[in-house]
Structure 1
Amino acid sequence: MGVTHVLRGQEHVNNTPRHVALQRALSLPEPHYLHVPLIFNADGSKMSKRDKDKVARAAYKEQCALHPERFLDVPGVTAPELAKWAKDKRSQLATSALVALAERLELDLPAISVEDFRRAGYLPGTLCNYLGLLGFSPGEKDSEGKDRERFDRDYLADRFEASRIGRSNARFDRAKLLAFSADDIAALTDDAFWSLWEAWCTRYATWVSERFDEEMRKRIALALKSRCKTLADITSPSGPGAFLFLADDEILYEEKAVSKHLRKGEPDGFSVLEAVREALGSLADFSPEAIEETVRVFSEERGLGMGKVAQPLRVAVTGSAASPPLGDTLALLGSASVSRRITRCLAECR
């Protein structure tokens, strides 16, 4: 088969003498063997494909006890099969069934396989860079005199040496990987980010193109780029663009934001919303620039700081006090949606 080198986990060390004995008995060439340390989770447990089932099983048991009817028709797996799987901690669901169950549970499964990390929105170069640091060091310093951590695949291929692989097991730090991803996303040009996100949506979020035309998708991508750590963040239910993909009557208001930005102050945020709704409703050009200018003029005429107007608007249309720039946020929703959301906020939160 032409295999010259075998690199595998150190748990296979005991198998190697048997393999060598078989190769010699059959007069086959013997490849070189290298056994490397394992990768563990942050809690010290071995990183395994069963981790996804473990997380899903715990959530399923908790939710099924309260609402068993929700799990009678999970695609790819029957209710009796789920019940049997829940009792056996070593059993695993088929990938398609596990993904369907996670969606029903509204659960983010831990990324384990390469496909998991693709689905989670990590760039290939980011993942290769981070994996290259697990148990390995290039032995060089960066411009600040620290151990070099950021490099591309060509750099790793040029400098990789088996002698630099560590002897101890590595810990997979998901927070560090996410930090790497955030840096790499931020470094992308707008065009590059748009192209990568569009390709990601084509593979993992086809509903985006069914709901929005290309011009709108690009506007969404560029407006939210600075708030993304992965390509998946835009469409994530907890991501910076969640408010865009909800119906006007599905927005949930954060009580802390409502209390701080709507109920307090003189005038209070509710009064500001009523007045600014009229100003925004009269705009023929509902572009980010026109919106920002209207809010600026509105604030100055009433002697209010921009935050006294912008924050109530954010809460009303997104449910929270954090969003992309106000002009982009309102323009992406459109005039009619903004008006409906302000009206609903006034009715339900006042």
Structure 2
Amino acid sequence: MKIKTRFAPSPTGYLHVGGARTALYSWLFARNHDGEFVLRIEDTDLERSTQQAIDAIMDGMNWLGLDWDEGPYFQTKRFDRYNAAIDEMLAAGTAYKCYCSKERLETLREDQMAKGEKPRYDGRCRHDRSHHDASEPCVVRFANPQEGSVVFNDLIRGPIEFSNQELDDLIIRRTDGSPTYNFCVVVDDWDMEITHVVRGEDHINNTPRQINILKALNAPVPEYAHVSMILGDDGKKLSKRHGAVSVMQYRDDGYLPEALLNYLVRLGWSHGDQEVFSIEEMKQMFTLEAVSKSASAFNTDKLLWLNHHYINHMDPNYVATHLQWHIEQEQIDTHNGPQLSELVTLLGERCKTLKEMAASCRYFYEDFAEFDADAAKKHLRPVARQPLEVVRDKLQAITEWNAHNIHEAIQATADELEVGMGKVGMPLRVAVTGGGQSPALDVTVNAIGQSRSLERINKALEFIQAREQA
């Protein structure tokens, strides 16, 4: 049997991390078994579904690299198929038309709740069809079996059983002729030959209904695996108050997709004590049996740690392709300065996100109008004039511009003036970067370049002179 899974989001909002983890698990299960992965957009909620949400889902999937073998399919383009199946069920007696008014159903619900009973349709139109006019508007209900139970083996949770007496005759077609979610899902899974349904635990109650409909259609029943929810640090359901929950917000915040995938796969799944997994390792090692039944807590600090790890351990040329987007957001012209891959190496240890890296790299590419006030006050004092003049002359004399020779020039200045390296290094750092923090000074000055470094030192000396005359 060829394994076939699907990810079937509703386009009523962005792709959130819970949906992304479900998609990842479904995708990994298919890839682990050399199977196929289907993307299906469940857009039957016409009022809430938007093209913007569809685009957000597609962007998120593409950014994460969760490629699909079929799709995207759209349920709104398959209404003829669903309605043909419903008509067949009406003819077979496994579905029936219901003419009950909204008023009757509301009264029925209120009476049942007043008696402490579970609200459910009482089956009036299933048993007595003499009280209506065939020209009246009607819905179509599924004739759910009234005896026995539905038992299925959840691949994460084990055996689950529902009594058919707990399941009422759900509506499968509305009065306007549109089919409902639970029915569309069933026909889609059948037509698309889905063998394994991996989805959130909020769908557990839908599963027995869908299994009964599949059996009524004489369709094969897939295997089911229901993933637990993700909680915030405070133990409550993950939401906007916990920070970014949209997948693309993590891109905007400077995370690498590999870091987010690595973090999400570990939110409920483990393989020994291993923390860091490449995509290939995930594909090889992932099993549904190793997914936890318990809810997982989202920890932003752990994700940040992973992102920092990936920035420093992935190919700098690859990391630079993602950094480019953030550089563009900062509107930095990178034509004059180091390659972005070199910047990744320079700033990787200091920056935990690509956004942070882009925000702190401008001095490598563009001249600055003024020095950081605090850094200049502390380090661009009259006492720094001589160290800056001497180191400037030594830097100017370098014929082969590299980090080693720059370091030698700084050391030689300190030796000549018989001062500590900090007395030379800190004024030089403020002079060439405009601030008091940067990577190692020799590689920083090297990346900025000889002519620009000399110009900035002269600018710092002018600043000191003006300070002396003030």
Query: Does 165-174 or 202-211 show the bigger shift?
Result: 202-211
1:247 aligns with 2:438: no
1:253: how far off?
A: 1.0
Amino acid at match of 1:199: T
1:131 aligns with 2:264: yes
- The 1:211/1:185 distance shift into structure 2, 3 A limit, reads closer
1:169 aligns with 2:284: no
1:331 aligns with 2:446: yes
Amino acid at match of 1:126: A
The equivalent of 1:112 in structure 2 is 246
The equivalent of 1:61 in structure 2 is none
**Is residue 135–residue 169 contact of structure 1 (8 Å, CA) maintained in 2?**
yes
**Is residue 255–residue 353 contact of structure 2 (8 Å, CA) maintained in 1?**
yes
* Counterpart pick for 1:4 among 195, 201, 207: 195
**Is residue 248–residue 340 contact of structure 1 (8 Å, CA) maintained in 2?**
no
1:221: how far off?
A: 4.1
C-alpha distance in 2 between matches for 1:318 and 1:41: 39
- The 1:271/1:334 distance shift into structure 2, 3 A limit, reads same
Name the SS of the counterpart of 1:248 in structure 2.
coil
C-alpha distance in 2 between matches for 1:19 and 1:270: 80
1:259: how far off?
A: 4.7
Task: Judging by fraction of residues, say which structure has more helix.
Answer: 1
Amino acid at match of 2:363: F
1:314: how far off?
A: 0.9
- The 1:3/1:338 distance shift into structure 2, 3 A limit, reads same
C-alpha distance in 1 between matches for 2:362 and 2:218: 62
* TM-score between the two structures when normalised by the length of structure 2: 0.49
Aligned ranges for residues 315-326 of structure 1 at < 5 Å?
A: 315-326=430-441
The equivalent of 1:183 in structure 2 is 309
**Is residue 337–residue 448 contact of structure 2 (8 Å, CA) maintained in 1?**
no
The equivalent of 2:204 in structure 1 is 13
- The 1:305/1:179 distance shift into structure 2, 3 A limit, reads same
The equivalent of 1:200 in structure 2 is 322
**Is residue 201–residue 226 contact of structure 2 (8 Å, CA) maintained in 1?**
yes
C-alpha distance in 2 between matches for 1:285 and 1:306: 22
* Counterpart pick for 2:222 among 23, 26, 31: 31
1:252: how far off?
A: 4.8
- The 1:345/1:23 distance shift into structure 2, 3 A limit, reads farther
- The 1:161/1:291 distance shift into structure 2, 3 A limit, reads closer
**Is residue 248–residue 341 contact of structure 1 (8 Å, CA) maintained in 2?**
no
1:297: how far off?
A: 1.2
Pair member with larger Rg: 2
Shift >6 Å, 4+ stretches: 207-210
1:299: how far off?
A: 1.1
The equivalent of 1:297 in structure 2 is 412
C-alpha distance in 2 between matches for 1:276 and 1:12: 69
1:277 aligns with 2:427: no
Q: Deviations over 1:76-120 (max 9, x none)?
A: xxxxxxxxxxxxxxxxxxxxxxxxxxxxxxxxx83631x444555
Amino acid at match of 1:112: S
**Is residue 324–residue 340 contact of structure 2 (8 Å, CA) maintained in 1?**
no
**Is residue 273–residue 313 contact of structure 1 (8 Å, CA) maintained in 2?**
yes
Q: Deviations over 1:103-149 (max 9, x none)?
A: xxxxxx83631x444555544443332212112232x2xxxxxx332
* Counterpart pick for 2:286 among 142, 146, 160: 160
1:211 aligns with 2:334: yes
1:292: how far off?
A: 1.8
C-alpha distance in 2 between matches for 1:331 and 1:196: 23
Q: Deviations over 1:157-212 (max 9, x none)?
A: 44434343233322222221221232333334xxx31x203432566646999632
- The 1:206/1:159 distance shift into structure 2, 3 A limit, reads same
- The 1:125/1:219 distance shift into structure 2, 3 A limit, reads closer
**Is residue 209–residue 217 contact of structure 1 (8 Å, CA) maintained in 2?**
no
Amino acid at match of 1:10: E
C-alpha distance in 2 between matches for 1:25 and 1:254: 76
Task: Judging by fraction of residues, say which structure has more strand.
Answer: 2
Q: Deviations over 1:257-300 (max 9, x none)?
A: 4454445xxx7334433443344345454432332222111111
Aligned ranges for residues 8-157 of structure 1 at < 5 Å?
A: 8-48=199-239, 51=240, 110=244, 112-113=246-247, 115-118=248-251, 120=253, 122-138=255-271, 140=272, 147-157=273-283
C-alpha distance in 1 between matches for 2:206 and 2:233: 28
- The 1:41/1:216 distance shift into structure 2, 3 A limit, reads same
C-alpha distance in 2 between matches for 1:15 and 1:213: 59
C-alpha distance in 2 between matches for 1:329 and 1:307: 16
Q: Deviations over 1:300-339 (max 9, x none)?
A: 1110111211111112222333212222212222334324
The equivalent of 2:403 in structure 1 is 288
Q: How many residues align?
A: 273
